Amino acid sequence: MALAAGCRSRETPAPPSPVPPQAAAAGATSRDYRWALPPGLEPPAVPEANPISAARVELGRHLFYDSRLSFNGTQSCSSCHVQELAFADGERLPTGSTGDRLPRNSPGLQNAGYLRTLTWNNPLLTSLERQIPVPMFSEAPVELDWTGHGRAILDRLAADERYPALFRAAFPDDPEPDVGTVLYALSTFVRAMVSFDSPYDRYARGDEQALSAAARRGLELFESDRLGCRACHAGDNFTLAAPEPGTELRQTAEFVNVGLYDIDGQGAYPDTNTGVHELTRRAEDMGRMRIPSLRNVALTAPYRHDGSVADLAGVIREYEAGGRGPGAASRFKDSRVRGFELSEGERADLVAFLESLTDATFVADPRFSDPWAGRDR
């Protein structure tokens, strides 16, 4: 498979060069794939170099759930991204295949193809083809442990009796497993994870009975200037990290310090988790983390980049206070996090609305389920 800079060594593979962001175009090459989208909603951008197809999605599904994708055979992508939890994992912090603790909470994966930034703190990872090599090849912490072991992992996949036909269908011009085909298949599978069938969506499409009275009151609060939630959780995906069609990504504007920490009186976050600042070392980037999507948010507890809040009511209380403890007065806190007052009933209504963003169809959809269940690997 030809990648941007070539990556077909028979020696231990290195991470492939990413697909240039400019190669992506909304609704680009779609072969035989049918998106499960409501009328009027465009599919996510698809890179021309990695067109989506049903066969490529199916190969990616097998790889996503295959624990042989980690060198020691103990973990798959699904170890940290569980379907019934909207592809989060329910843990405060995930653990890699060799026992390394990761520094940030596992995000849900629904609608990742719409996002223009894909991790908690790195504005440069702007496509799935750029991001997925990170868990494959990262060394500190180790996740799937491909560095130095890629050839052995690929040989293991090639030896399985099911994979030759899957790779041949997905990549007929280059059917042998390599870093590129694995990366592109995984990216395609995650890109296919679209979720727009929550009670909120059905209500927005005209089903007046889809939301409870409490959820409707919560929606009104959510949309109000008094709370200002939409200032950060905008658009169909409830995040500025998924710009609406025709708008541009505004550098790091989708990364926000919400006033969680001030450990030195100068606005500092813990050394291992300083947000965008970890990459830029600019003071103004201290604590800036990507604004997460709220879709299926009721399934993805615990919350925050470090999993430090147990439930939705706890998150809301922090926003009511304009931050957490000393962090509320941090000089780096975003001005949109200004605090507000809620009654107990209003807080419950807001939680009811957030729960209405749960797409029960998505988290049980067999197209995204484990194809190895009940089968030997």
And the tokens for 345? 């009933």
List Cα–Cα distances, 44 to 66, 72, 250, in angstroms.
Answer: 26, 34, 19
And the tokens for 84? 């019934």
Which has the closest alpha carbon to 340: 320, 313, 317? 320
Nearest-angstrom CA–CA distance, 272 and 262: 14
Cis peptide before 302 (omega within 30 of 0): yes
Average pLDDT of the chain to the nearest whole number: 90
72 touches 145 (CB < 8 A): yes
pLDDT at 17: 46
pLDDT at 307: 98
Place of tokens 């490529």: 56
Nearest-angstrom CA–CA distance, 347 and 353: 10
What's the pTM? Answer: 0.91
Nearest-angstrom CA–CA distance, 16 and 5: 7
Q: Write the pLDDT tens digit of every residue in 38-96.
A: 998 999 999 999 999 999 999 999 999 999 999 999 999 999 999 999 999 999 999 99
Which has the closest alpha carbon to 290: 239, 231, 227, 229? 239
3-state SS assignment for residue 190? helix
Helix residue spans in 65-178 (DSSP H) = 128-131, 133-137, 150-158, 163-170
Give, for 26, the enclosing helix (H) or strand (E).
strand 24-26
Nearest-angstrom CA–CA distance, 309 and 314: 6
pLDDT at 31: 63
Which has the closest alpha carbon to 334: 255, 245, 269, 219? 255
pLDDT at 32: 74
Supply the DSSP symbol for 310: -
Q: Which CATH class is domain 228-339?
A: mainly alpha
Below-70 pLDDT ranges, the chain:
1-31, 243-252, 376-377
And the tokens for 287? 């604590």
Which part of the chain is CATH 1.10.760.10? 21-195+363-368, 228-339
Nearest-angstrom CA–CA distance, 116 and 29: 19
Domain 21-195+363-368 superfamily per CATH: Cytochrome c-like domain (1.10.760.10)
175 touches 336 (CB < 8 A): no
And the tokens for 5? 């800079």
Give strand ranges (E) for 204-356: 255-256, 289-290
